[in-house]
Structures are given as structure tokens and as C-alpha cells.
Structure 1
Amino acid sequence: MRRTTITGVFQQRLRWVRVATLGSLATAVLMTLIMPSIGLGRETDPLRIALGATGILVFAAAQAAVLYAAVTPSLTQAVHRRLLAGFATAAALSIPMTAPLGGGDWRTWAWVGASIVGTAPLLGGRATAGAVIAAAVAVSGAVGWWSGGSLVEYLVITVGFGVMTIGVTGLHAWLWNILIATQEEHSAQERLTAARERLRFGRDVHDLLGHTLSVIALKAELAERLVSVDAARAEREAADVRLLAASALADLRKAVHGYRTVDLRGELDEVSRVLRSSGIRCTVTDRTGDLPVDVAVPLSMVLREAGTNVLRHSTASWCSIELSRHDDEVRMTVTNDGAAAVRPDRHSSGLRGLRERLAETGGTLDVRADGGLFVLESAMPVTS
């Protein structure tokens, strides 16, 4: 109960932090709307006013969309790409639509350029941000030269106010994303730990039932032999079998209290999230569909061990996980770069144990390292 309360309070505070971050980002959009719009009041041509207003509104909307996406990790990569494409299009259209506004009296596009510079760090990596900033500064200088205005003023506005925008909004967004990444990593680690504990319970149950059922089988066999020789003793042995079975059932209920079946789809999601939150680019390809429990559980164990090895025994920058099904076999392949210069089997004693456990059910586990790549391949037979 206490843990649930703490989590609820944390989530509530997290929501308030998000609201504050979005409010900070909204100031950048507000500057985009206000500062270039001053040029509208200095323009007399109705066509230029209409085009300029449209350009400012479209660009502000595109900027608001990419800023929102920058602090919303739940959005898919496809959505991010579409929003970035929309922002790039709006920025390009703003040049002919807003640059003429105000003539030489107002540096309209310089303010648009400042908004682009201020937004650039939230569009992607350093290379992308650097290219966008360089392009915005270059266009601002070109517009200043073309309009006959002061080139220095254009550049000062674009660079100076752009850097100020980065300081006001970029820092908030950066801190927010760090907070989200940390929370996701901790949550994923907790879920992985819980899943490993459930599997440990399952193994304990297997050991417990294996021993008890062996004793029951021996006593039942003895009772069967004694029926025609010593009926009284055979009756006692049968009674012992009944008591052992009842005791085993009670132990089983205690051991598996709270135990839930492993979900391979969930494990794929959790492992990939842990890797991504650790800065490792992770791609997952799953062509298997629904799998029987006796196949999903071993593959889940292998997947978690593979993810642990990527984090602890490599300097990986990317990892791919692929599951495929061919007739009566399911194969999982985990590949990552940054493999340590050691024999694959020495990465972890867990791999050796998993290989033995998979072999008991007809499965296989192979690992190899070549050219800095570490490849783990496991296969399980499917009987249904």
C-alpha cells in the first residue's frame, strides 16, 4: 500500500512537471506568433499580409507539434517523422511567405529564423540540430542581404534570440526527457526483476513437484505389489500416497501464489525499452504469432539473459531482436555490436545454464562473436 501511494504521488508530480515543461515550450511558440506578426502591421499590401499571416500560423503550428512530440515519448517514430517533415516544409514555405513582410522596417524572417534555431536541438541528434541551425542562419543572412536590411541585425536576431530560446525551452525539455528515461528504466528493471522472480518460483515448483511425485510414484508401485501379499500395509501405503498428494497440492498453492504466466510479447517490449533507455538503438521483428507456454517461457528466459549480456558485457550502440517461425520450430536471434573480445560462452554462466535447460526440451542455444558483433541464436521445437 505504501509503495502504491508513493508511486501515485510521483506520477502526480510528474504530470505537474510535464505541464510546466509544456508551458515553457509554449513561450517559444508565442514568440513565433508575436514577433514576426509585428511585420504584418507594417505592411500595406493585402496579398503580402494574407500570405504572411498564413505562413506565420502554419509555421507556429508545425513548431508546436514538434515541440510537443519532443516531450511525448509515447508517440511512434512514424509520427515523429511526419511532424519533422511538416516542420521542415513549414520552415521552407515561411521564407517566401514572410520574408517580404515589413520591408526594411522590420526583420520579420529573422524572428522566424530565431524560432528555428531555438527549436533545432529538440528535432534530433547533434548533427541534425547543427545542420538546421546553420541553414537557418544562412537563410537569415541571405534574406537580410536580399531585402536590403542590415545583415548584422538579421544575424543578431536569429542567433541571439535563438540561443535565448534554447536556454529557456531546451533546458526544460532536456531535463524532462532525462526524468522520463530514468523513470522508464527503473520501471522496466522492476518488471524484469519481477519476471525473473516468477520464473525462479516456477523452477522451485518444478523441483518441489519432481521430488514429491517421485515419492508418490514409488509408494503407489509398492502399494500395488503389496495388495496380494499384505493388504493392510498396502492400505497404509495408499493412505500415504493420498496424504503426500494433498501435501504437494498445498505446497504448490503456496509456492505459486501470485505467479502469472510469462508473456513473451511483454518481455520483448520490456527488454527493448530497457536497451533504448540505456542509449542502445533496438529493433524488434516478430513473425511468430501466438506461441505455446512451453515455448514462450524458455525463449523469455533467453531473451532476458541476452539483454543482460548486451548491457553488462558490451559497449553496444545497437541491438536487433528477431523471432521467426518455420513449420515446427521457432527461432530467436539477438545481435548487437560492441562485443567484448572474449569467447562467447564466457560472457555469462547463465548462457551455459540456459543451453542445458533448452536441451532438455529439444531446444538449442548457440552464440558467436565475429568482427565486434555478438550473435545469440536459440531455437525451440513447436508441437502445436
Structure 2
Amino acid sequence: MGSGLTERSRRWRRRGQAERWDLWTRVSLSGAYVLEPLWASIMIGPTVGPVARWVMAACIALHAVICALLVHAGLDHYLGRRSRPVRLIALAAGLTVAGVVAGAVAYPDAQPGHPDGPASGLVVVLAIAFVVAVSSAVPLPVTAGVLAAAVATKFAVSRMEGAPVSVAVPAALGLGSLVLAWLLTYRVSMWGLKGVWELDHSRKAHARLAVAEERLRFARDLHDVIGRNLSVVALKSELAARLVERGRSGAMDEMREVSRIAHESLAEMRAVVRGYRTADLDTELAGARSVLASAGVRCQVIGDGRGLSAEVQSTLGWVVREGTTNVLRHSEARMCTVSLRRSTTGGTDRLTLSMENDGVTGPESPDGRRPIGNGFPGVAERLAALGGSVVTTREPPDRFRLTAELPLPVAVQEETP
């Protein structure tokens, strides 16, 4: 049993913030229908016989299940994930009408000593359940029409039971007020859920745009630097081929020029890639703060790269770049903290860069700690080349920490970042 609870806990932590909110909203809205049979037994049970009580309980339980399914399907329709659940609407409406008609036929009169009877109780229970459920799947004007029909039905049943107009009208309006209160609660929950999903989609769009912009920048740099030279190589190669075909001199000179341009292009391409792979730490920290802020993530930076060698700054800058991409693409973070601190272990000064956020969504390892894998091969290689390491740590319920450690070179052990 303990392992089952642990697995469910892990599945819950693997859900994003939007998924958690969605699940909670569905459970709370649909789960409210568990109370429908209980409510009916309290209102109607004492006024009917034991056989009728059990029949009513079974029918109302079926009505509650259909309404709960309608709420779930209606939410999917409201969020644009499926078409309108017409069959569930028709089934729930048919059960509601059948229940009201059966109650009116079986109990047309008020109970002795009471202003109403079981038929009025059935109208109240079934109307509230159906109107609230159908509101999630139909437009507001249709919901208003269904509510008006429920109020009119309550007035008609009260009059059938012998209640005067002065009593039937307040009873019908009371039902309408009760339904409106439930509708308001449901609509607010639905609006909130839609807003959460829209924010989630916006965050993911920001992450995709950030990655796409970086790819476009790299592609533009390659095109600007290499494109012109490759065009010249193509033209000169074609010219040399034509000179050879015609038996004219100069082909060798053209090919030497092609070789020179090719070597220059190779050097320029290496410079572009080297510039792309070289990351200044302070620049990357500022960029991380800006990119995360645009995605709705508050970013706090503690420390900077002053006093660090270019090699250390480049390596840690790459860690910050990859860590920021990881936050954008694989988390639901609201806050991210980047800190640099210096410590001494075994007589050796070490620099630790940590990136911590509160939106972990990925799978958890058994001990909560594992080395960086496929997502950061370049980071792990660069740190290993300098004697460093990088690991991740997860802390319940949703904390995720990326930690990179580097031994400080002797040249900078007297300076503090």
C-alpha cells in the first residue's frame, strides 16, 4: 500500500501546475454530484415509503453520474478540446424531465402538514443538478433558458400541489436563486481553469520563441559569413571548369583562388561557432533574467563573474544558458534563483553555480539526485575538462536545483566573484 501511495505521489508531482489545477477543478466540480443522492434522501426520504425511497435513490444516483460525466465533457468542450457533448446533454435532460414527471404523477398532492410534497423536492434536486451540469456545455443564453424553464416547472408543481400563488412564486424564485449561486461558483471555476491553461500555453510559446530566436540568430550568422564565400567558390569553380573545357590557361589560378576562399570560409565558420559556444557569464546572467521575465518567471541573481578567468566564465555561462532553456521548456516555475558562491574543500577553492526553481515537472529518481544526462552533454563535457561536475537535486514538493562545481584556477584563488 505504501508503494502505491508513493507512486501516486510521484505522478502528482510530475504533473505541471496547469494539469494539477485542471484535475482539482474537475474533481471538485464533478465530485459535488456525490452529494446529490444524499441531498435527495434528506429532502424526500422521510415523506415516501421504503420501496419508493430505494427506487428514487437508484434513479437519482444514475442522474448524478450522468451529470458528473456531462460536467467533465462540458469542461473539455469549454476548453476547446472536443465538440459539444450533445448525447450527454440529451440523456441528462431526458432523465431530469422523466424524474420530474414521475414525481408529479406519483405524488400530485402536498404532504399533510407541509406546503409541498415529494414532487417539489424532486424538482429542486434534479433542476439544480441538471442546470449546473449543462451550463458547462452550452452558451450562457441557453443556460438562462434552461434556468427559466426550471423556475417555471417549480411554480407549476407547487400550484399542482395546491400552494397559493403567494407561496408558489417565492418557492420558484428561491429555486432560481439557489441555482444561480451554484452557477456562479461553477462559472468562476471554469473561467479560472481556462485562464490557467491560457497562461500555460503562453509560457510554452515564450519558451519556443526563445529557442527559435536563438536558432535564427545562429542561422543568420552562418548565412552572412559563409553564404557570400560559398557563392564565390561556386562561380570560380564553374569558371575553372569552362577554362579547362576550352583549353585556355588560367584554370589553375582560379582553383588556387577557390582553395584560398575555402580555407578562409572554414576559418570564419569556426570563428562563428566559437563565438556561439563562448558565453560570457555576466552577459548570460542578464540574458537569463530577461528571458525568464518575459516568460513570467521571476529571476533573482546572486553574485557575478568578476575576477573569474575567461575560461571559467565561458563554461559557467554555458551552464546558465542551458539551465535557462531547461526552466523554460521543462518546468512550470514561478521563481528561479541563480547564485554563485565560493567554498574551500580539502584546501582547494571551489566555485559553485546553482540554479533553483519551483516548477519541477519531470520524473524523479529514487534518491532525488542524479547526474545531468542527455540534455546537457556539452555542459558536462566542458565542466569535466576543468575538473568540475554538474548534478541535479529535487526536493519535494516541486523544487529543482541544478548545481555546477568548478575548482578555481590558482590565478584567481585570491579574488572573490
TM-score (norm 1): 0.51
Structure 2 contact 104–157 (Cα < 8 Å) conserved:
yes
Structure 1 contact 22–68 (Cα < 8 Å) conserved:
yes
Aligned to 2:89: 84
For 1:99 and 1:250, the matched residues in 2 are separated by 86
Aligned to 2:389: none
Structure 1 contact 40–101 (Cα < 8 Å) conserved:
no
Aligned to 1:338: none
Structure 1 contact 37–56 (Cα < 8 Å) conserved:
no
**% same residue:** 22
For 1:13 and 1:63, the matched residues in 2 are separated by 27
Provide closer, same or farther for how the CA distance between residues 248 and 135 of structure 1 changes in structure 2, counting only shifts above 3 A: farther
Aligned to 1:61: 65
For 2:91 and 2:155, the matched residues in 1 are separated by 24
Aligned to 1:266: none
Aligned to 1:233: 253
For residues 1-384 of structure 1, what are the structure 2 equivalents within 5 Å? Answer: 12-26=16-30, 28-38=32-42, 39-44=44-49, 46=51, 48-49=52-53, 51-72=55-76, 76-78=81-83, 80-99=85-104, 104=110, 105-106=117-118, 107-149=121-163, 151-152=168-169, 154-188=171-205, 191=208, 210-224=227-241, 225=243, 229=249, 233-234=253-254, 236-240=256-260, 242-243=262-263, 246=266
Deviation string for 1:30-89 (max 9, x for gaps)?
34222223324421273x446533431232122111222343466743363333333323
Aligned to 1:295: none
Q: How far is 1:20 from its partner?
A: 3.5
For 2:161 and 2:232, the matched residues in 1 are separated by 95
Structure 2 contact 45–53 (Cα < 8 Å) conserved:
yes
Provide closer, same or farther for how the CA distance between residues 29 and 235 of structure 1 changes in structure 2, counting only shifts above 3 A: closer
Provide closer, same or farther for how the CA distance between residues 178 and 76 of structure 1 changes in structure 2, counting only shifts above 3 A: closer
For 2:133 and 2:36, the matched residues in 1 are separated by 11
For 2:65 and 2:238, the matched residues in 1 are separated by 80
Q: How far is 1:128 from its partner?
A: 1.4
Q: How far is 1:141 from its partner?
A: 1.5
For 1:101 and 1:194, the matched residues in 2 are separated by 68
Between Structure 1 and Structure 2, how many residues are aligned?
249
Provide closer, same or farther for how the CA distance between residues 121 and 235 of structure 1 changes in structure 2, counting only shifts above 3 A: closer
Structure 2 contact 37–60 (Cα < 8 Å) conserved:
yes
For 2:47 and 2:272, the matched residues in 1 are separated by 82
Aligned to 2:352: none
For 1:36 and 1:197, the matched residues in 2 are separated by 61
Q: How far is 1:153 from its partner?
A: 6.2
Q: How far is 1:190 from its partner?
A: 5.1
Structure 2 contact 225–269 (Cα < 8 Å) conserved:
no
Partner secondary structure for residue 123 of structure 1: coil
Structure 2 contact 74–136 (Cα < 8 Å) conserved:
yes
Deviation string for 1:255-310 (max 9, x for gaps)?
999xxxxxxxxxxxxxxxxxxxxxxxxxxxxxxxxxxxxxxxxxxxxxxxxxxxxx
Provide closer, same or farther for how the CA distance between residues 159 and 79 of structure 1 changes in structure 2, counting only shifts above 3 A: closer
TM-score (norm 2): 0.48
Q: How far is 1:133 from its partner?
A: 0.9
Partner secondary structure for residue 17 of structure 1: helix
Structure 1 contact 62–87 (Cα < 8 Å) conserved:
yes
Partner secondary structure for residue 137 of structure 1: helix
For 1:117 and 1:211, the matched residues in 2 are separated by 69
Structure 2 contact 64–129 (Cα < 8 Å) conserved:
no
**Code of the aligned partner of 2:68:** A
Asked which structure has the greater RCO (Cα within 8 Å, sep 6+), the reply is 2
Partner secondary structure for residue 124 of structure 1: coil
Provide closer, same or farther for how the CA distance between residues 205 and 59 of structure 1 changes in structure 2, counting only shifts above 3 A: farther
Provide closer, same or farther for how the CA distance between residues 238 and 118 of structure 1 changes in structure 2, counting only shifts above 3 A: closer
**Code of the aligned partner of 1:178:** G
Provide closer, same or farther for how the CA distance between residues 207 and 32 of structure 1 changes in structure 2, counting only shifts above 3 A: same
**Code of the aligned partner of 1:64:** A
Q: How far is 1:250 from its partner?
A: 6.0
Provide closer, same or farther for how the CA distance between residues 209 and 87 of structure 1 changes in structure 2, counting only shifts above 3 A: farther
Q: How far is 1:204 from its partner?
A: 6.6
Q: How far is 1:155 from its partner?
A: 1.6
**Code of the aligned partner of 1:88:** A
Structure 2 contact 233–261 (Cα < 8 Å) conserved:
yes
Q: How far is 1:127 from its partner?
A: 0.9
For 1:32 and 1:124, the matched residues in 2 are separated by 22
For 1:67 and 1:91, the matched residues in 2 are separated by 15
Provide closer, same or farther for how the CA distance between residues 78 and 153 of structure 1 changes in structure 2, counting only shifts above 3 A: same
Provide closer, same or farther for how the CA distance between residues 221 and 28 of structure 1 changes in structure 2, counting only shifts above 3 A: closer
Q: How far is 1:251 from its partner?
A: 8.4
Gaps of 5+ in 2: 1-11, 111-116, 278-417
**Code of the aligned partner of 1:80:** P
